[in-house]
Amino acid sequence: MVSLSINGMLVKVPQGTTILDAAKKLNFRIPTLCQHDDLCVAGNCRVCVVEQLGGRSLLAACATPVSSGMQILTNSLKVRAARKHVIELLLSEHNADCTKCYKNGNCELQDLSNEFSVGDHLLLDLTETKEYTIDRFSPSIIKDDSKCIRCQRCVRTCEQLQGVNALTVAYKGEHQKISTFEELSMAEVICTNCGQCINRCPTGALVERTYLDEVWDAILDPEKHVVVQTAPAVRVGLGEELGFEPGERVTGKMVAALKRLGFDSVLDTDFSADLTIMEEGTELLTRLKRALVDKDPSVALPMTTSCSPGWIKFIEHTFPEYLPNVSTCKSPQQMFGALAKTYFAQVRKLDPKNIVSVSIMPCTAKKYEANRPEMRSSGYKDVDYVLTTRELAKMIKQAGVEFRKLKEDKYDSIMGKSTGAGVIFGATGGVMEAALRTAYEIITGREVPFEGLNITPVRGMEGVRLASIKIEECKEEWSFLNGVELKCAVAHGLVNARELMNRVKSGDLIVHFIEVMACPGGCLGGGGQPIPTNEKIRKKRTEAIYAEDMSMELRKSHENPEVIGIYKEFLGEPLSHKSHELLHTHYTERVRY
Amino acid sequence: MKDKHVKRVDLIFEKIECRDVLEKIIDMEPDAICQEILESDLKGRGGAGFPTGMKWRFGSQEESSIKYIVCNADEGEPGTFKDREILDQVPGKVFCGMAIAARAVGAKAGYVYLRGEYKFLIPKLNEELAKFHRTMDEFNQNFRIQVRLGSGAYICGEESALFESIEGKRGEPRNKPPYPTTSGLFGKPTIINNVETLVYTVMIMKYGASHFKELGTKDSRGSKVFSVSGDTPKAGIFELELGMSVNEFVEEFGDGDTKAVQVGGASGFCVPRKRFEETIIGFEGVPTGGSMKLFNSTRSMYNVLHNYLDFFTEESCGQCTPCRVGCQQLLKGVEAVKRGDKNSKYLDELVKLAKTMKRASKCGLGQSVGNAFGSIVENFKEEIIY
């Protein structure tokens, strides 16, 4: 332990603790900008500078480990002067037209300049003579360099959490900026559209491309029947934007709010998550049969999940040789979209051309996914507009809906019914768990041998997790699986996905089924979720997801009555011709520079 | 009483037989080498002046099977060109100095990080390096050196940015601590010394610390190679005993009309005529990595300052706020004052800003912008305003 004093108060902390964390222990908050709990230390914004008595220069509290006998001042004259200067300097380079900014009200720089009352800028406005680029080419992400404060959080996110390196630092001195490979647009570089950069940007330099106006136009058009689907992770995140604590579930209030906003049918992506399990589970068993019984050498194993569009774009760029291994199932969003303009239209006697299909997602990559040319199997664009959790919160605020006071409501039917298995799609390991609950039962006729159906080995926050389940006493048609140990791997965060795939590629790891979610924590940590995010918040949302699962009447996808119904009335059976037409897709090898 | 004249010295460029020194140090205990360098009071000749012996001792105390010796040959300070000459004239002595450091701390690999513009030296260096490696083989020593080329960024002369550059990354300074002796190149304990410093260690091992200490003052032992430029009839490279005043220097090198000397390049201090007498060139006065620029009365100090600020605005790595934006504000600020868009009081605001840059910047670059700015504005205010 190291003893030091901060503002005259003594504190003991373990060796290696930063001054920032030591101060936190004494309830002194030191302002930061480039620091983020999920990322390595940068120490480049210099907002957190503190004074060490007897020291020549100030120290960056986030980057400096404590040493014994240190006497730190966090609010001395020198510190105040420097901090104010740093904020003024940042503002002098920043397009500070806050009222017109998408992040107005949720901007760390705005908060700081407010705290330090930086009113009349003494320094010169440097933005007048600079040229900035605003990149609007990506369907998911808008990158506005005029708002960028070069904290490099996005660069570190893209490198350390995602291993994608779409964003990088270019040039030096006054020309230094956050750029891309050869300064191509975000739409052209290897970017998975995951939006993790957006989630960590302290200002409005990286934001989602919003489709709020388009959705309002559709809602307010009497000709249109606007169908909305909500992803599992939205219900455990939305509250944070509307005054609730992280981890508070707001499913019923969200449904009520969506109805008040004027959506004609409020439906659930969890329904199509259950459907995904039926299709994907069957696909896995079929692949296993072809490999084990038919000894077909062309069958691609391990099979990987395909729900995460960030993961799909990543594998298309990075491991194209493994594209045959990716499940051909569309993501739940896109299955839902294809069915909304076919099955749903047919049952509800609607002309699909008058249906506008909107999805609320914790994700920015879903915006890209909905725009993929192959996502038009209904004959129309299957999902017209994708909004993030944050955008939905904005709609609720715009419409003046008092969210807190809303009575809980229920999803409409059809395509509104779901099980706990569909809900846990929102957490890393959830698709794996849901698939195992169903597949094991199909094979053996018995429930998975885990207490309360909770397959805990696939849960958690480890970057890569391995689990296996021994299959015994199979039903007759599955007897070829008797004694097989089904091996599974789960990864979240693309840096972990890359590690996992490299292990598979090297032959070091042999598994049958792989779940990958592009974002840390799975969808609940998605790029479209409320800001801020960190591991603590993601854990709260995870707890909420599993609590929601436990609260459900049904917890296995194959027991979802609407899923049973759609196979009976419309699709026939999993992997049927119709299923293939509407619910399955293919992938494209993409450039790898 | 010290002789009141500029005294020329010939240590750095003295042609010696390096293998004799190598043979001597190979039989020495590492700690004895550190001790000898410590006793010499040699301070780093790159400008910062950290005691070399202390640096080596820290490095020798680190427990690591891999350690590195890095020679900082990224000579980029405006107005300094002495390392180029040293590398050209006596490259063998530079490698010899690295071998001494390697012996002192227990390193097996060394790098010379060569300024990109000095690419023309590479054939010569490689030739000399082959000879050096043959000598090491003869002595059964496995220390090996590689030459790495920079790409023209001033910031890569900053030691931790230099490591990043060798590692193949963008040259940006790291947070300190940890310091290089604990975690330097590739995260391993690293001794990084300037070209000139390394050559002095050779001469100290050859002639002994006491011989070296006979030169210079208490705070600035020994001699130093100066790059003299500007308004002088004697531009060039001179090895001089430390401890002279700026006045003595100007008497030797000035053109009779010297109004200011910029000691230490863009990141150094501007000494005006009225302070020539009292200012010692050395660690007790104004330290320098070698750059000595003389300005006579035909020069506009506004232009001098503008030039330096322009340089820093371009050469800041851009990573930290005070340096990236501060440099632009100082540059645009003096322009605005000159134009009359801002009144002279604005200079006081800029001086305060320069102080913040000194205190709050991440590395030596941002921390030293205020040196030239403060000393020029303070002494030549009227030239900035009018």
Q: Which of A49, A47, A54 is CA-nearest to residue A69?
A: A54
Q: Return the amino acid letter for B282.
A: G
Measured between beta carbons, the chain A residues lying within 8 angstroms of B153 are 172
Q: DSSP for A479-506?
A: GGGTT-EEEEEEEESHHHHHHHHHHHHH
The DSSP bridge partners found for residue A4 are: A11
Q: Which of B270, B272, B274, B276 is CA-nearest to residue B247?
A: B276
**Half-sphere exposure (Cβ direction) of B378: Cα atoms closer than 13 Å:** 15
pLDDT of residue A508: 96
Query: B91-105 and B195-207 are packed helices; what angle lies between their axes, rounded to 10 degrees?
Result: 80
Query: In whole angstroms, how far apart are CA A447 and each of A455, A554, B8?
Result: 11, 13, 92
pLDDT of residue B3: 52
Residue spans per domain, chain A:
2-75, 91-208, 224-593
Nearest to B367 among A57, A93, A152 (CB): A57
Mean pLDDT of chain A: 96
Instruction: State the Cα–Cα distance between residues A18 and A493, nearest whole angstrom.
Output: 26
Instruction: State the Cα–Cα distance between residues A399 and A417, nearest whole angstrom.
Output: 27
Domain A2-75: assigned CATH number: 3.10.20.740
In terms of DSSP bridges, do strands B190-194 and B223-230 run parallel, antiparallel, or are they unpaired?
A: unpaired
pLDDT of residue A592: 77
- E strand intervals along A218-309: 225-230, 265-268, 303-304
Side-by-side strand order, sheet with A464-470: A303-304, A513-517, A485-492, A464-470
- Average pLDDT, integer, range B295-314: 98
User: With an 8 Å Cβ cutoff, is B182 touching chain A?
Assistant: no
Domain B223-296 CATH (choose: 1.10.10.10, 3.40.605.10, 3.10.20.600, 3.40.190.10): 3.10.20.600
Grade residue B5 by pLDDT with cuts at 50, 70 and 90: confident
Instruction: State the Cα–Cα distance between residues A276 and A585, nearest whole angstrom.
Output: 13
Query: In whole angstroms, how far apart are CA A335 and each of A258, A374, A382, A456, B328?
Result: 21, 12, 8, 28, 53
- Minimal-distance CA residue of chain A relative to B368: A57
pLDDT of residue A121: 66
Helix, strand, coil percent content, chain A, rounded in steps of 5: 45, 15, 45
| Level-2 CATH architecture, domain A224-593 | 3-Layer(aba) Sandwich (3.40)
Residue A83 has pLDDT above 70, yes or no: yes
A→B interface, C-beta within 8 Å? 41, 43-47, 49, 57-58, 60, 63-65, 78, 81-82, 85-86, 89-90, 92-93, 122-124, 126, 129, 149-150, 152, 169, 171-176
In terms of DSSP bridges, do strands A206-208 and A225-230 run parallel, antiparallel, or are they unpaired?
A: unpaired
- pLDDT tens-digit readout, A275-311: 999 999 999 999 999 999 999 999 999 999 999 999 9
In terms of DSSP bridges, do strands A49-52 and A71-73 run parallel, antiparallel, or are they unpaired?
A: antiparallel
User: With an 8 Å Cβ cutoff, is B324 touching chain A?
Assistant: yes
Contact yes or no for A366/A386 (Cβ under 8 A)? yes
Catalytic residue list contains A307: yes
Residue A544 has pLDDT above 60, yes or no: yes
pLDDT of residue B213: 94
Contact yes or no for A394/A387 (Cβ under 8 A)? no
- pLDDT tens-digit readout, B101-119: 999 999 999 999 999 999 9
- pLDDT tens-digit readout, A346-400: 999 999 999 999 999 999 999 999 999 999 999 999 999 999 999 999 999 999 9
Instruction: State the Cα–Cα distance between residues A76 and A83, nearest whole angstrom.
Output: 10
Query: Cis bond leading into A352, ω under 30°?
Result: no
So what's the ipTM on this one?
A: 0.95
- Of the listed A307, A329, A363, A474, which one is catalytic? A307
Kindly state the tokens that stand for B36. 């000898």
- pLDDT tens-digit readout, A389-433: 999 999 999 999 999 999 999 999 999 999 999 999 999 999 999
Within a 10 A sphere around the Cβ of A27, how many other Cβ atoms? 7
Grade residue A591 by pLDDT with cuts at 50, 70 and 90: confident
| Level-2 CATH architecture, domain A91-208 | 2-Layer Sandwich (3.30)
Q: Which of B373, B379, B371, B322 is CA-nearest to residue B48?
A: B371
User: With an 8 Å Cβ cutoff, is B318 touching chain A?
Assistant: yes
User: With an 8 Å Cβ cutoff, is B358 touching chain A?
Assistant: yes
Residue spans per domain, chain B:
18-213, 223-296, 301-385
| Partner-chain contact B360 A171, CB within 8 Å | no
Catalytic residue list contains A523: yes
Q: Which of A329, A334, A349 is CA-nearest to residue A414?
A: A349
Grade residue B188 by pLDDT with cuts at 50, 70 and 90: very high
Q: Return the amino acid letter for A238.
A: L
Alpha-helical (H) ranges within chain B are 18-26, 30-40, 52-61, 82-89, 91-105, 122-138, 159-166, 195-207, 209-213, 246-253, 301-315, 321-339, 345-360, 364-379, 381-385
Which DSSP category does A126 fall into? Answer: G
Contact yes or no for B56/B70 (Cβ under 8 A)? no
Q: With 0-12 CB in 10 A as exposed, 13-18 as middle and 19+ as buried, what is B312?
A: buried
Nearest to B359 among A58, A65, A169 (CB): A58
Which residue's entry shows tokens 């015994």? A472
Within a 10 A sphere around the Cβ of B383, how many other Cβ atoms? 18
Mean pLDDT of chain B: 96
Residue A593 has pLDDT above 70, yes or no: no
Contact yes or no for A437/A557 (Cβ under 8 A)? yes
Grade residue B48 by pLDDT with cuts at 50, 70 and 90: confident
CATH 1.20.1440.230 fits B301-385, yes or no: yes
Return the percentage of chain A with pLDDT > 70, whole number. Answer: 99
SS3 A477: helix
Instruction: State the Cα–Cα distance between residues B30 and B18, nearest whole angstrom.
Output: 18
Instruction: State the Cα–Cα distance between residues A159 and A164, nearest whole angstrom.
Output: 6
- Average pLDDT, integer, range B193-209: 98
- Average pLDDT, integer, range B235-240: 98
Measured between beta carbons, the chain B residues lying within 8 angstroms of A82 are 322, 356, 359-360
Instruction: State the Cα–Cα distance between residues B166 and B181, nearest whole angstrom.
Output: 17
Query: Cis bond leading into A302, ω under 30°?
Result: yes
Kindly state the tokens that stand for B39. 């006793």
**Half-sphere exposure (Cβ direction) of B38: Cα atoms closer than 13 Å:** 13
List, in order, residues 6 or more apart from B89 with CB less than 8 Å away. B13
Q: Which of A421, A438, A418 is CA-nearest to residue A430?
A: A421
Grade residue B1 by pLDDT with cuts at 50, 70 and 90: very low
| Level-2 CATH architecture, domain B18-213 | 3-Layer(aba) Sandwich (3.40)
Residue B4 has pLDDT above 60, yes or no: no
Residue B261 has pLDDT above 50, yes or no: yes
pLDDT of residue B293: 98
SS3 A262: coil
Grade residue A118 by pLDDT with cuts at 50, 70 and 90: confident
- Of the listed A115, A183, A374, A447, which one is catalytic? A374
φ and ψ at residue B209, rounded to 5 degrees: -60, -35
* Residue B114 host element (H or E): strand B109-114
Instruction: State the Cα–Cα distance between residues A564 and A557, nearest whole angstrom.
Output: 9
Rounded to 5°, the CA angle B30-B31-B34 comes to 95
| Partner-chain contact B327 A150, CB within 8 Å | no
What is the four-CA torsion angle of B237, B238, B242, B248, rounded to 10 degrees?
-100
Contact yes or no for A584/A329 (Cβ under 8 A)? yes
Longest dimension (CA), chain A: 81
- pLDDT tens-digit readout, A485-502: 999 999 999 999 999 999
For testing contact with chain A, the best of B176, B319, B367 (most A CBs within 10 A): B319
φ and ψ at residue A592, rounded to 5 degrees: -135, 105
Measured between beta carbons, the chain A residues lying within 8 angstroms of B172 are 169
Q: Which of A320, A285, A301 is CA-nearest to residue A474?
A: A285
Measured between beta carbons, the chain B residues lying within 8 angstroms of A126 are 325, 328-329, 332
| Sign of the CA dihedral running A280, A283, A289, A290 | negative
pLDDT of residue A48: 98
Contact yes or no for A409/A257 (Cβ under 8 A)? no
- Average pLDDT, integer, range B166-182: 96
